[in-house]
């Protein structure tokens, strides 16, 4: 089983946890359960997980509030690093979300392996 790690900024903020805490309790429960399934069974395919490219994957959650949520993560050894979370409003994942996720992935790896 993998360990779930939430990305932290240099100032120790955890943006995905802050976003999750802003959601209704019922939505958080669904996202948490979907993340747990990914944690236990990764790599998984559709409909729960989907590769986004550049080593990124998404956990896809259909929420009780009738919206779709996504958590974006990457694998680092036995860890799944969650770098972004958002409510999906368009068919494709927005380019800005992908760019931010790649930046956070690179920041995490650079902090873990300073040269």
pLDDT given for residue 52 in this prediction: 96
How far does CA 45 lie from the centroid of its chain? 15
DSSP 94: P
* The CATH number fitting domain 3-112, selected from 3.30.2310.20, 3.90.10.10, 3.10.180.10, 3.40.50.720: 3.30.2310.20
pLDDT given for residue 48 in this prediction: 95
Mark out the alpha helices in 1-115 (DSSP H runs): 15-21, 25-41, 95-112
pLDDT given for residue 112 in this prediction: 85
Task: Please name the residues in contact with 9: beta carbons below 8 A apart, sequence gap of 6 or more.
Answer: 15, 107
More confident residue, 44 or 34: 34
pLDDT tens by residue, 34-43: 999 999 999 9
pTM of the model: 0.94
Residue ranges covered by each domain of the chain: 3-112
pLDDT tens by residue, 50-91: 999 999 999 999 999 889 999 999 999 999 999 999 999 988
Task: Please name the residues in contact with 73: beta carbons below 8 A apart, sequence gap of 6 or more.
Answer: 38, 56, 57, 58, 59, 80, 81, 82, 83
pLDDT over 90 (residue 49): yes
């Amino acid at each position: 089983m993998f360990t779930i790690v939430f990305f932290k900024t240099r100032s120790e903020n955890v943006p995905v946890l802050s976003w999750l805490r802003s959601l209704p309790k019922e939505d958080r429960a669904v996202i948490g359960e979907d993340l747990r399934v990914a944690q236990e069974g990764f790599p998984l395919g559709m409909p729960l997980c989907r590769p986004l490219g550049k080593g990124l994957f998404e956990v896809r959650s259909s929420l009780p509030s009738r919206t779709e949520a996504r958590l974006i993560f990457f694998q680092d050894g036995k860890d799944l690093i969650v770098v972004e979370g958002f409510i999906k409003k368009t068919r494709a994942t927005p380019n800005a979300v992908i760019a931010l996720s790649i930046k956070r992935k690179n920041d995490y790896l650079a902090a873990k392996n300073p040269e």
